Structure 1
Amino acid sequence: MKRLSLMLPLFAVCAMVPCALSVPAQAADDDKVPYWASIDTDKAYMRVGPGDSYKIAWVYRRQHLPVRIIRREGPWRQIEDPDGDKGWMRDLLLSRQRAAIVRGDGLIELHAEGRDSSPMLWRVEPGVVGLLGECTDGWCAFDTDGHKGFVHEDSLWGAGEP
């Protein structure tokens, strides 16, 4: 009986080891595509294939431009930009920080809170890029160069499910 009581702590430790060695949920989710990302540099090349030897298709000069990651191949990510163009970009040029771009034909309103009855703070034109906060009930927190507020989720590309 004494021998069994000495082994119980060992069994408890052994039972916890698989939990400690398992991959955290966040890390497992990082491998799933599609997902949203944003360009994390002032100048980024999109190539026609996953490698430096492939031709450059586009040069992006808009930090925080949202992109949809649709495929992974080693350190390369196949992206889709807001215009629907697809190509490959190095993961070092991308960030998981969510961003969005205003879409539509006219100005949209940036409100103080996530509801139509809240005060309008700014008007924002299509093509404006900003950092995206949490989206709730059809409204998203949006920050464009320090101008913070809430916009309708359907006015943004980069919000919602990828």
Structure 2
Amino acid sequence: MRFLICLAALVSGALASPAAAQTRETPYWATIRDSATVLNMRVGPSKDYKIAWVYRRPGLPVKVVRVLEGWRLIEDPHGDQGWVSAPLLSPARGIIVTGEEPAAIRASGANDADIRWRAAPGVVAKLERCEEGWCQIDVDGRRGWVRQGQLWGSGEP
């Protein structure tokens, strides 16, 4: 009997998880999963819809603006919107460097901190944390701080 109760609890918990994921408040940030070598953005929430764009950048940040069953309406850093399959997205936070000039990546979150390197516009990184207008990022194991205003994906979605 105890086994049946445990089994029923496990099954109901497993079935409730996808439903719980559907109730996440939008908008929110996500990234393209590292395992997704190709992500097709479609004009509608089904594989029956035409592919509007193909992404080949794991870790690219996206804004999820709508949830519909196993599909997410996303907005990319250029403002383009379309539907993607939910399992191809990760809840991990990421950023992309914006602007016309390379961003100074500093040793700490201060204007007078040593510059470790510069990241060109378009560089994708993991977002570790933000505080007081500065964000700590990780670019393939190289960590540093950059002004939050030079990043897409770091603020409120």
TM-score, structure 2 as length reference:
0.84
Gaps of 5+ in 1: 1-26
Which of 125, 132, 154 does residue 149 from structure 2 map onto? 154
How far is the alpha carbon of 1:42 from its aligned partner? 2.0
Q: Give distance in 2, aligned partners of 1:74 and 1:29.
A: 7
Distance 1:109-1:83 versus aligned 2 partners, 3 A rule: same
How far is the alpha carbon of 1:30 from its aligned partner? 5.8
Give the letter aligned to residue 127 of structure 1: G
| Match of residue 25 from structure 2 | 32
Asked whether the 8 Å contact 2:22–2:68 carries over to 1, the reply is no
- Could you list the structure 1 runs, at least 4 aligned residues long, displaced by more than 3 angstroms after superposition: 27-30
How far is the alpha carbon of 1:28 from its aligned partner? 8.3
Pair 1:94 & 2:89 matched: yes
Distance 1:139-1:147 versus aligned 2 partners, 3 A rule: same
| Match of residue 4 from structure 1 | none
How is 1:77-156 mapped onto 2 (pairs within 5 angstroms)?
A: 77-156=72-151
How far is the alpha carbon of 1:43 from its aligned partner? 1.1
**What count of residue pairs does the alignment treat as equivalent?**
137
What value does the CA root-mean-square deviation take over the aligned residues?
1.6
| Match of residue 15 from structure 2 | none
Asked whether the 8 Å contact 2:38–2:55 carries over to 1, the reply is yes
Identity %: 49
